């Protein structure tokens, strides 16, 4: 019984702690943007619709913006896409 | 009609695939074009080329450095610093990679190295993050400067052009630097994931490795689970969004096509095998073989359809470029697990058949069957999920801890399920109906289930999670394989049962096609049953061994060794050699038979060789051929012929004692073949045995008597004793008929009549001519003997019959007298009796004997055998 409580408590705390830790990308442009994200071993394309907000790379990554600029992210930033270019707040 | 429809469907499917591939091709082309669209967005003057995303980390760097040297003095130190950090990180990474390579077996060291690599990749990112502010400044300044003037616009000031150029160059340098950092970070990640994979492999492959199971470890596992599930959700959702937005048509087509493939398999399978399934379902009292075949097909067809669906969906998704490298393994494992879970569940439901008790393969109650399905399904699901999550962790590069924790949980759940299974009451007595409440398991099963479950939990709790997981997996997978094997063996047994094969479809076909008898079908059924046993053993035993971690190469080498050399002490037996020996012997035997038949039928029959010679030659060829085949077979079997000398020595000793008879019979047989005192079909007499020779074989000769009794006469007897042969050179034979007449008849007349009768018969030879002899004066009668010669001694009996009949008729007609002993009135005077008194005892004895003797003689005349 005690075990169960511990597990439940841990579970809750983990979820609470885990959610905060990721970069938020918001697309301010009129059209959806494709970001190429290099995270871990894989290179994945993430579509951010116009006005949408996505959570990306919780543990640091590199992002290639539609403008062609490469930037490094630590994983706790808030980012906006303006005119195809990435702006870190 | 059917084939036309199938062709249409096929052509539609093909055109669909072609169209979709073309669509996918354009989609890829668009994708490839996207960076080019993006490129003009960057100012055209950006001198350093964009670093290509993959590889070449070092190449752009010197160029970037060269540009950086030209860059303004305030930008240079920042870039230079980042550059130095990256160089340092690069060297560190190489060093770590070397250490990882050296410490492949040391789990603790690997864990430490993993921490260092993670730290390094953070450093790499932070090095590039440091350049971000400068990039922002440049972008802001470039925005202030505005776009360069287009065609026809007034030229801007030279200083503005110069500054723009400078800024763009610096921007390019920063991008190149970040690109290099990106590549380094990917390498670091690869190394980190490689370490994790090695550690996971260490965990799975080392059964007896103890892991500390504690609350702290579990809580950490829960944290990582949360992280992993978020990472998984993000990967999958970003992939799905991307696929939906940009590759919708290939994505949907892939799913549609794979569904089509599954449908084709499913419908085709059911249509093809509907005679096995539908017809059976109607029956209430199916035979065991039909139950088995229904279980088999109803498991196989849907599983094949699902496999087709899984394989084709993976194939189409990957060939339409919809899959992404991080998603592909997850999809593959998910599909594989789905197939495995489905197969085991389907198999269990085929065996238990919870809904229809008459189709149940094992004798359990209705309720027991339903209850058993639950834990089986649960165990398979838990084990499957364990593997699925394990490979998701693998592809996401999650910590090893998570794999351990999941396996721990899975082992405990499976242990609990096993223990719960012990309380199910499925068994039935022979006389109970299926809807009876059921009885508990036999003690052995319930106790072993409890022990197994408890042991599994105990092992997991003790920290040997790897072992617990292995056992749990083995219980499920080996159990499924064993159940399948058991069904296979049951199938073999029921096929080889008397009369069962004739009931099957194959049996009925054979009966129709080759008009086989019941006995033949039974024999085929026996062979088929044995074949099924062999197949089951051949297929499933390696499967179980593979499950237990043996490699295919191991099994191959075992089989090879088993087949080529079995050592018993100093003797080496080679199964292949023995088999080859048997095969060569069989070939030699068949060849011998063929040569025998050919020589007998073609060569000797045409050259009109005597039947006896033919038989001898044929038998001789048979002996020689079989002997040669035996020798070839022996040497092919790897038995050294020189070692036969020893055997021959032993045999010769044996010949001296016990085998003497057999050898002498054998040699006598050979002599009989060469000398040919008689041949098959001859009528011979040897001692008391008389009859036709039916067969001359190695040891004995088969003689069939006139009563059709077969007598095996040892050849040595036929050689050593005198043998009479009625048909040796020719079949000419003499036959006698004795005729007794009273003294009232005229002897000359009798002789003439007998001559006439003999001459009148068509089968009596004129040369040598028949003759009549007056052979004896009997007490009361004269004895005549008619001697006739017939061409074929075998017909003598009939001829004699005819002649006797003629004699009787002629004598009666001509009133010559009866040609046979008639009861003669005893004319011995009665007055002799009184003189008995005077006769002395010895005399009296003589007198008594005399009439008796004469009586006997007379009787012997009368009953004289006149067969010949």
Q: Is B540 exposed, middle or buried (0-12, 13-18, 19+ CB in 10 A)?
A: middle
Does A9 reach chain B within 8 Å, measured CB to CB? no
Which pLDDT does position B394 carry in this prediction? 78
Q: Cβ of B222 and A61 within 8 Å?
A: no
B168 CB neighbours in chain A (<8 A) are none
Q: How many CA atoms does the CB half-sphere of B499 hold within 13 Å?
A: 1
Q: Is A11 domain-assigned?
A: no
A66 Cα to chain B: minimum distance (Å): 6
Q: Is A12 domain-assigned?
A: no
Residue B814 CB contacts under 8 Å (≥ 6 apart), including other chains: B749, B753
Compare CB distances from B38 to A14, A18, A66 and report the shortest one's residue.
A66
A70 CB neighbours in chain B (<8 A) are 51, 128, 175, 178-179, 182
Q: Is A51 domain-assigned?
A: yes
A86 Cα to chain B: minimum distance (Å): 9
Q: Is A1 domain-assigned?
A: no
Which pLDDT does position B63 carry in this prediction? 41
Structure-token pair, residue B730: 């020719």
Compare CB distances from B326 to A10, A42, A73 and report the shortest one's residue.
A42
A47 Cα to chain B: minimum distance (Å): 6
Q: Cβ of B222 and A58 within 8 Å?
A: no
A66 CB neighbours in chain B (<8 A) are 38, 41
Q: Is A13 domain-assigned?
A: no
The answer to whether the CB of B277 falls within 8 A of the CB of B348 is: no
**Torsion sign across C-alpha atoms B781, B782, B783, B785:** negative
Model pLDDT for residues B481-517, shown as the tens digit of each residue: 888 888 788 888 888 877 777 777 677 787 788 777 7
Q: Is A44 domain-assigned?
A: yes
- Domain residues for A30? 22-88
Does A32 reach chain B within 8 Å, measured CB to CB? yes
Q: Cβ of B222 and A7 within 8 Å?
A: yes
Model pLDDT for residues B532-561, shown as the tens digit of each residue: 889 888 888 888 888 777 777 888 888 887
Q: How far apart are CA B862 and CA B498, in angstroms?
A: 62
Helix, strand and coil percent figures for chain A, each rounded to 5: 20, 45, 35
Q: Cβ of B242 and A45 within 8 Å?
A: yes
Instruction: Answer yes or no: is pLDDT of B804 > 80.
Output: yes
Which pLDDT does position B176 carry in this prediction? 87
Q: Cβ of A72 and B125 within 8 Å?
A: yes
Does A64 reach chain B within 8 Å, measured CB to CB? yes
pTM value is 0.56
Q: Cβ of B222 and A40 within 8 Å?
A: no
Q: Cβ of B125 and A71 within 8 Å?
A: no
Q: Does B850 or B15 have the greater pLDDT score?
A: B15
Does A72 reach chain B within 8 Å, measured CB to CB? yes
Q: How far is CA B218 from CA B115, B225, B230, in A?
A: 20, 10, 18
B45 Cα to chain A: minimum distance (Å): 13
Q: Cβ of A38 and B234 within 8 Å?
A: no
Model pLDDT for residues B571-617, shown as the tens digit of each residue: 777 788 888 889 999 999 999 999 988 888 888 877 777 777 787 88
Structural domain total, chain A: 1
Q: How far is CA B541 from CA B127, B341, B684, B809, in A?
A: 57, 22, 62, 88
Q: Give residue B71's pLDDT band: very low, low, confident or very high (50, 70, 90).
A: very low
Which pLDDT does position B49 carry in this prediction? 41
Tell me which DSSP letter residue B501 carries.
Answer: G
Q: Is A7 domain-assigned?
A: no
Does A52 reach chain B within 8 Å, measured CB to CB? no
Q: Cβ of A58 and B41 within 8 Å?
A: no
Residue B465 CB contacts under 8 Å (≥ 6 apart), including other chains: B203, B211, B213, B404, B407, B408, B411
Give the residue-averaged pLDDT of B17-44.
42
Which pLDDT does position B276 carry in this prediction? 59
Tell me which DSSP letter residue B427 carries.
Answer: B
B38 CB neighbours in chain A (<8 A) are 66-68, 84
Q: How many CA atoms does the CB half-sphere of B375 hold within 13 Å?
A: 20
Does A53 reach chain B within 8 Å, measured CB to CB? no
Instruction: Answer yes or no: is pLDDT of B116 > 90.
Output: no
Which pLDDT does position B832 carry in this prediction? 43
What value does the mean pLDDT of chain B take? 78
The answer to whether the CB of B424 falls within 8 A of the CB of B372 is: yes
- Choose the mutation target among A52, A68, A80 for the interface with B, i.e. most B CBs under 10 Å: A68
Does A8 reach chain B within 8 Å, measured CB to CB? no
Residue B169 CB contacts under 8 Å (≥ 6 apart), including other chains: B46, B47, B48, B67, B70, B71
Which pLDDT does position B451 carry in this prediction? 93
Q: Is A16 domain-assigned?
A: no
Does A51 reach chain B within 8 Å, measured CB to CB? no
A56 CB neighbours in chain B (<8 A) are 234
Element holding B405 (H helix, E strand): helix B400-421
Helix (H, G, I), strand (E, B) or coil at B640: coil
Does A12 reach chain B within 8 Å, measured CB to CB? no
């Amino acid at each position: 019984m005690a075990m169960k409580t511990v597990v439940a408590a841990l579970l809750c705390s983990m979820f609470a702690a885990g959610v905060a830790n990721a970069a938020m990308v918001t697309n301010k442009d009129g059209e959806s943007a494709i970001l190429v994200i290099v995270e871990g071993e894989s290179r994945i394309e993430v579509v951010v619709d116009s006005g949408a907000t996505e959570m990306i790379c919780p543990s640091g990554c590199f992002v290639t913006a539609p403008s062609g600029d490469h930037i490094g992210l630590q994983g706790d930033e808030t980012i906006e896409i303006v005119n195809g270019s990435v702006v870190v707040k | 009609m059917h084939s036309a429809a199938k062709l249409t469907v096929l052509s539609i499917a093909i055109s669909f695939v072609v169209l979709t591939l073309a669509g996918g091709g354009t989609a890829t082309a668009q994708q490839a074009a996207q960076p080019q669209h993006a490129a003009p967005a960057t100012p055209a003057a950006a001198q350093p080329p964009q670093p290509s995303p993959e590889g070449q980390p070092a190449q752009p760097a010197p160029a970037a450095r060269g540009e950086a040297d030209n860059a303004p003095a305030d930008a240079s130190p920042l870039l230079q610093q980042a550059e130095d950090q990256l160089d340092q990180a690069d060297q560190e990474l190489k060093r770590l990679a070397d250490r990882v390579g050296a410490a492949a077996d040391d789990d603790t060291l690997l864990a430490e190295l993993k921490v260092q690599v993670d730290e390094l990749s953070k450093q790499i990112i932070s090095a590039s993050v440091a350049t971000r502010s400068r990039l922002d400044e440049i972008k802001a300044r470039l925005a202030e400067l505005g776009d360069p003037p287009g065609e026809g616009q007034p030229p801007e000031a030279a200083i503005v052009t110069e500054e723009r150029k400078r800024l763009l160059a610096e921007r390019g340098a920063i991008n190149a630097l970040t690109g290099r950092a990106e590549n380094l970070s990917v390498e670091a990640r690869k190394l980190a994931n490689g370490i994790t994979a090695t550690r996971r492999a260490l965990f799975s492959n080392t059964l007896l490795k103890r892991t500390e199971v504690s609350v702290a470890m579990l809580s950490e596992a829960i944290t990582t689970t949360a992280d992993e599930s978020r990472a998984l959700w993000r990967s999958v959702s970003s992939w799905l969004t991307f696929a939906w937005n940009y590759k919708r048509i290939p994505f949907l087509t892939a799913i549609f096509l794979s569904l089509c493939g599954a449908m084709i398999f499913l419908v085709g399978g059911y249509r093809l095998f509907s005679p096995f399934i539908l017809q059976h379902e109607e029956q209430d009292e199916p035979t065991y073989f039909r139950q088995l075949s229904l279980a088999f097909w109803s498991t196989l067809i849907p599983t094949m359809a699902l496999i087709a669906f899984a394989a084709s969906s993976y194939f189409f998704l990957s060939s339409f470029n919809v899959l992404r490298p991080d998603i592909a393994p997850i999809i593959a494992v998910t599909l594989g697990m789905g197939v495995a879970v489905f197969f085991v569940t389907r198999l269990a439901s085929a065996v238990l058949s919870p809904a229809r008790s008459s189709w149940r393969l094992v004798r359990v109650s209705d309720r027991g069957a339903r209850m058993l399905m639950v834990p089986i399904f649960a165990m398979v699901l838990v084990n499957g999920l364990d593997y699925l999550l394990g490979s998701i962790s693998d592809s996401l590069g999650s910590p090893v801890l998570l794999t351990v924790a999941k396996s721990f949980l899975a082992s405990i759940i499976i242990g609990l399920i096993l223990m719960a299974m012990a309380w199910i009451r499925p068994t039935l007595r022979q006389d109970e109906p299926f809807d009876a409440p059921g009885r508990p398991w036999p003690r052995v099963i319930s106790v072993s289930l409890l022990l197994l479950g408890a042991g599994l939990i105990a092992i997991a709790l003790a920290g040997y999670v790897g072992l617990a997981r292995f056992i749990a997996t083995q219980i499920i997978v080996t159990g499924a394989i064993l159940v399948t094997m058991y069904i296979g063996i049951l199938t073999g047994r029921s096929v080889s049962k008397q009369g069962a094969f004739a009931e099957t479809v194959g049996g009925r076909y054979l009966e129709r096609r080759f008009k086989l008898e019941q006995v033949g079908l039974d024999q085929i059924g026996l062979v088929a049953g044995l074949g099924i046993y062999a197949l089951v053993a051949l297929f499933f035993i390696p499967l179980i061994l593979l499950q237990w971690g043996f490699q295919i190469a191991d099994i191959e080498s075992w089989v090879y060794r088993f087949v080529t050399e079995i050592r018993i002490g100093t003797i080496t037996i080679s199964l292949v050699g023995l088999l080859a020996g048997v095969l060569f012997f069989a070939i030699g035997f068949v060849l011998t038979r063929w040569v025998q038949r050919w020589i007998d039928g073609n060569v000797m029959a045409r050259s009109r060789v005597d039947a006896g010679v033919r038989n001898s030659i044929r038998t001789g060829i048979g002996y020689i051929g079989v002997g040669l085949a035996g020798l070839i077979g022996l040497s092919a079997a790897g038995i050294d012929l020189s070692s036969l000398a020893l055997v021959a020595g032993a045999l010769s000793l044996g010949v001296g004692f016990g085998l003497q008879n057999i050898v002498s019979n054998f040699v006598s047989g050979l002599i009989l073949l060469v000398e040919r005192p008689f041949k098959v079909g001859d009528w011979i007499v040897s001692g008391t045995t008389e009859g036709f020779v039916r067969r001359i074989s190695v040891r004995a000769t088969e003689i069939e008597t006139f009563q059709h009794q077969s007598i095996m006469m040892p050849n040595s007897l036929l050689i050593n004793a005198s043998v009479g042969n009625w048909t040796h050179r020719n079949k000419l034979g003499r036959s006698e008929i004795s005729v007794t007449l009273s003294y009232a008849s005229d002897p000359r007349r009798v002789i003439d009549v007998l001559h006439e009768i003999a001459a009148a018969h068509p089968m009596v030879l004129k040369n040598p001519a028949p003759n009549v002899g007056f052979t004896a004066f009997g007490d009361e009668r004269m004895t005549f003997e008619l001697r006739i010669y017939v061409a074929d001694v075998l017909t003598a009996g009939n001829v004699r019959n005819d002649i006797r009949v003629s004699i009787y008729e002629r004598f009666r007609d001509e009133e010559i007298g009866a040609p046979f002993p008639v009861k003669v009135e005893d004319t011995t005077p009665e007055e002799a009796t009184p003189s008995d008194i005077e006769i002395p005892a010895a005399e009296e004895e003589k007198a008594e004997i005399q009439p008796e003797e004469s009586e006997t003689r007379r009787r012997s005349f009368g009953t004289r055998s006149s067969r010949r």
